[in-house]
Amino acid sequence: TALASVPKYKLNNGRDIPAIALGTFLGFDERGMAKSQNKQLRDVILGAIDVGYRHFDTASVYETEGEIGEAVRMKIEEGVVRREDVFITTKLWNTQHKREQVVKALNESLQKMGLNYVDLYLMHWPIGLNEDYSHSEVDYMETWRGLENAQRLGLAKSIGVSNFNKEQLQRVIEKGNIKPVVIEIEIHPQIIQKELVDYAQAQGVVVMGFSPFGSLVMRYGMHFPGPKLDNPLLLEIANKYGKTTPQVVLRWLVDRNVIPIPKTLKYKRLKENINIFDFELTSEEIEKINEFDTKTRYTLPSFWQTHPYYPFDRIDNPIADPFVKN
C-alpha cells in the first residue's frame, strides 16, 4: 500500500508540523484502564511509521514516552526515517510548574524516550499542583518562562499550551517572550470550539484537536451520548466520498486547519485514520457537522475547579479528585 502523504503546517517560528498526530493516551491503570496495552504500543508506533504517521502526541503523565522513543529509535536505526522526519509532542505535568522544575521534567521525558530533543513541549494544563496534588498558586506565566528556558536550551524545538481557555492563551501571547506555536484542546462534533479556534488561528497559533471522534466511538471503556458511527448525516457524507464516518470527522477537523489526534492500537484503523488527505468537505457539510455542537467535554476535571487557573466553566457537582490518594 502507498504511504499516505501528510501535508504540513508552518508554525509561527518557521518550523513545520505534520497535519495529523497519533494519540497515545491509553488510560490510567489504577482506575482499571488500559495500562497493560503499553506492551503493544511500541509495535503500534512501528506500524504507524510504516503507514505514514510522522507525528506522535504523548505526555509525561501518559507514561507512554518510553515506547514511543524506542519505536522511533528503531526506525531511525533501520534507516526508515531520520530524527528530523519525525515530530514528537510531549507535555509537562501539573506537578512540575515551578520555573526551575520545567527543564528537569523535560530532561526526564527525554531520558525515557532516549532522545535529545522533542519537537514540541506543551504545558498540559494551566493548573499548577503540589507533589501531593493540593493546589499550588504558581502562575502559569512562571511555568511558561520555564518552557522558554527549555526551548533556549534546545531541548524543545517549539513550545505551546494545552487546555488553556482564550483569556489564558491571550495572556501568554501578550506576556510571553516566546509566542506559543500550538494550542491543544478538545475538539469533536460535540465541542466544535469555534471561538477559541478562530482566535488562535488569527494569532498564528496552530490548533491541535484531541478526542477527535467524540461520541462516535467508545473511549476508555465508556460510551458517550451523541452521534454514533452510523449517524445518518455522517453516513451520507461518508458514502458520497467513499469514506467511513470516522474519516469524515477527521477530515472535518483538517478542513478547519485543525490537527486531529486520533488514537488507535489497531493496524487497520491506523491506515483508515490517516487516509483522509485525498478528499475535502464542502463548507455546507462542515456547517452541518458544526450543528452537532452541544459544548460537551469529556475531559472535564471538575475536581480542579476551585483552582484559580481552572480553564473551564465551573459546574454544580464536581467529581472527586482521582489523583489524590487517601
Residues that bind ligand NDP (CB under 6 A): 23-25, 57, 124, 162-163, 184, 210-213, 217-219, 246, 261-266, 269, 272-273, 299
Query: Is 62 marked active-site?
Result: yes
Q: Work out how close the CB of 216 gets to ligand NDP at its nearest, in angstroms, rounded to a whole number.
A: 7
Which of 9/28 has CB closer to ligand NDP? Answer: 28
Task: Give whichever of 218 and 324 is closer to ligand NDP, judged by the CB atom.
Answer: 218
> Distance between CA 17 and CA 94 in Å, rounded?
25
Residue closer to ligand NDP by CB (options 79, 266) is 266
Residue 151 vs 162, nearer CB to ligand NDP: 162
Residue nearest ligand NDP, Cβ-based: 23
Instruction: Give the shortest CB-310-to-ligand NDP separation in angstroms.
Output: 14
Place of cell 467529581: 319
**Cell numbers at 110, concatenated:** 527525554
* Shortest Å, Cβ 77 to ligand NDP: 25
Nearest to ligand NDP of 266, 316 (CB atom): 266
Nearest Cα to Cα of residue 204 among 12, 38, 3? 12
Select 78 or 236, whichever has its Cβ closest to ligand NDP.
236
Q: Angle CA(248)–CA(249)–CA(251) in degrees, nearest 5?
A: 65
Q: How many Cβ atoms are within 10 Å of 7's Cβ, its own excluded? A: 10
- Is residue 92 exposed (0-12), middle (13-18) or buried (19+ Cβ within 10 Å)? buried
Least Å from the CB of residue 263 to ligand NDP: 3
The pairs formed by 128-131 with CB atoms below 8 angstroms and a separation of 24 or more are: 128/94, 128/97, 128/98, 128/309, 129/94, 129/95, 129/97, 130/95, 131/95
Residue 124 CB, nearest approach to ligand NDP (Å): 6
CA distance 326 to 201: 43
Q: Which residues contact 96 (CB under 8 A, 6 or more apart)?
A: 60, 102, 104, 105
Strand 206-210 to strand 22-23: parallel, antiparallel, or no bridges (unpaired)?
A: unpaired
Under a CB-based contact definition with an 8 Å cutoff, are residues 11 and 181 in contact?
yes
Yes or no: say if 79 and 71 are a contact pair by the CB < 8 Å rule.
Answer: no
Shortest spacing between CB 78 and ligand NDP, in angstroms: 25
Residue closer to ligand NDP, measured from CB, 48 or 102? 48
**Do the beta carbons of residue 203 and residue 174 sit within 8 Å?**
no
Residue 51 C-alpha cell reads as: 503507514
Contact 161, 172 (CB under 8 A): yes
Min CB(89)–ligand NDP separation in Å: 8
Identify the active-site residue in 62, 121, 199, 310.
62
Catalytic residues: 62
